């Protein structure tokens, strides 16, 4: 009845190689992701995905503990999710096909760029987990001019 997928926490291949920010989140801490999706995200306002994602990330931040840096990182996630969705929609409208079906060098370049940005965003946001405190996290982000908060805006 039970198998490894019941308790599998991380899909390293999907987390590291997947090109989408949302996909990377879903493949990290998968049991908690499932719980958050089933009991928090699904109850958020469907008409307002940004608020729904923020609600879910706030619950996740609380789940992880009362550390200001982690809360800042989690509450920055909806910005990246919204930017990714908007960029994919704009590119789909521009090229007439979804990004995953766009062929040739343009498709490869855009998908590679998306992966590159996802990895940089994960690194940038992970500072909140490493430093834990809101003050040190904000000082670091200020030292790089909040570049990965401004980029998705």
Q: What is the pLDDT of residues 127-145, one digit of tens each?
A: 999 999 999 999 999 999 9
Taking the C-alpha atoms of residue 3 and residue 107, their distance in angstroms, rounded to an integer, is 37
pLDDT score, position 7: 79
Say if residue 81's pLDDT is above 80: yes
The catalytic residue among 41, 64, 145, 149 is 64
Taking the C-alpha atoms of residue 83 and residue 14, their distance in angstroms, rounded to an integer, is 20
Structure tokens at 65: 């503990």
Backbone angles phi, psi at 36, to 5 degrees: -60, -40
Query: Whole-model pTM?
Result: 0.90
Taking the C-alpha atoms of residue 27 and residue 57, their distance in angstroms, rounded to an integer, is 15
Structure tokens at 63: 């789940």
pLDDT score, position 133: 97
Structure tokens at 39: 């009991």
Say if residue 68's pLDDT is above 80: yes
pLDDT score, position 87: 97
Burial letters 88-113, b for 16+ CB under 10 A, else e:
beebeeeeeeebeebeeeebeebeee
Residue 64 is among the residues annotated as catalytic for this protein: yes
Supply the mean pLDDT for the chain.
94
Q: 85-111: per-residue pLDDT in tens?
A: 999 999 999 999 999 999 999 999 999
CA neighbor of 21 nearest in space, from 148, 136, 147, 134: 148
pLDDT-derived band at 3, boundaries 50, 70, 90:
confident
pLDDT score, position 101: 95
pLDDT score, position 118: 97
Say if residue 1's pLDDT is above 90: no
Q: Report in angstroms the alpha-carbon separations of 114 from 49, 84, 103, 119, 151.
A: 21, 8, 15, 9, 13
Say if residue 28's pLDDT is above 80: yes
Q: Is the separation of the CB atoms in 19 and 111 below 8 Å? A: yes
Average pLDDT over residues 71-86: 97
């Amino acid at each position: 009845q039970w198998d490894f997928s019941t308790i599998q926490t991380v899909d390293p291949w999907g987390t590291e190689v997947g090109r989408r920010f949302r996909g990377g989140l879903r493949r990290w801490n998968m049991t908690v992701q499932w719980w958050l999706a089933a009991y928090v995200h699904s109850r958020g306002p469907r008409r307002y995905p940004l608020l729904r994602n923020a609600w879910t990330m706030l619950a996740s931040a609380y789940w992880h503990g009362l550390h200001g840096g982690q809360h800042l990182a989690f509450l920055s996630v909806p910005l990246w999710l919204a930017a990714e969705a908007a960029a994919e929609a704009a590119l789909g409208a521009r090229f007439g096909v979804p990004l995953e079906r766009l062929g040739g060098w343009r498709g490869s370049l855009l998908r590679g760029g998306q992966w590159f940005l996802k990895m940089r965003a994960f690194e940038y946001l992970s500072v909140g987990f490493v430093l834990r405190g809101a003050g040190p996290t904000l000082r670091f982000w200020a030292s790089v001019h909040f570049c990965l908060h401004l980029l998705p805006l």
